Structures are given as structure tokens and as C-alpha cells.
């Protein structure tokens, strides 16, 4: 009987993660067999260059956005 409870409990938890619901995102059917990433994320030089290019905007592009007020910065 204890084995039955453990089996149905594990099956219920698994199906709760896999079957889509109104809240959250369902996981793939084999989520428990996939590796998770460990360690810090790395950014290569090409991505750093692309990010720095995106930060430099022309004056015309800056005019299209409203400035941030001090109230929003805090």
C-alpha cells in the first residue's frame, strides 16, 4: 500500500508539471532527464560588441522616447 501511495504521488507530481494549465508554462515530457545549466552564463566577444552597438543611438532615435522622470528612477 505504501508503494501504491508513492507511485501515484510521483505520477501526480509529474503530470502536474507536464500537463498545461491556465497558470505557468508546462515542461516537456522528458524534463526530469534533461541536464540543467550550472555555473555562470558566459557572453562571447561578438555578443558584447552587438550589445555595445545597440546602446549607441542616434539623436533621432532618442527623440522618439520620453525621458525617465526622477519619480520612476527611484
pLDDT at position 67, please?
73
pLDDT tens digits for the chain (74 residues)? 999 999 999 999 999 989 988 888 888 888 888 777 766 767 777 777 776 665 666 666 666 677 778 888 76
The 8-class DSSP code of residue 2 comes to H
Distance, in Å, from the CA atom of 49 to the CA atom of 61, rounded to the nearest integer, reads 20
**CA dihedral of 54, 59, 63, 68, whole degrees rounded to 10:** 60
Q: Indicate the helix (H) or strand (E) that contains 11.
A: helix 2-18
pTM comes to 0.44
Structure confidence at residue 9 (pLDDT): 96
Q: What are the helix (H) ranges across 19-58?
A: 45-55
Amino acid at each position: 500500500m505504501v508503494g501504491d501511495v508513492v507511485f501515484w504521488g510521483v505520477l501526480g507530481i509529474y503530470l502536474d508539471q507536464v500537463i498545461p494549465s491556465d497558470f505557468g508554462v508546462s515542461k516537456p515530457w522528458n524534463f526530469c532527464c534533461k541536464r540543467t545549466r550550472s555555473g555562470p552564463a558566459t557572453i562571447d566577444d561578438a555578443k558584447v560588441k552587438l550589445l555595445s552597438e545597440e546602446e549607441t543611438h542616434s539623436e533621432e532615435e532618442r527623440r522618439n522616447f520620453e525621458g525617465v522622470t526622477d519619480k520612476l528612477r527611484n
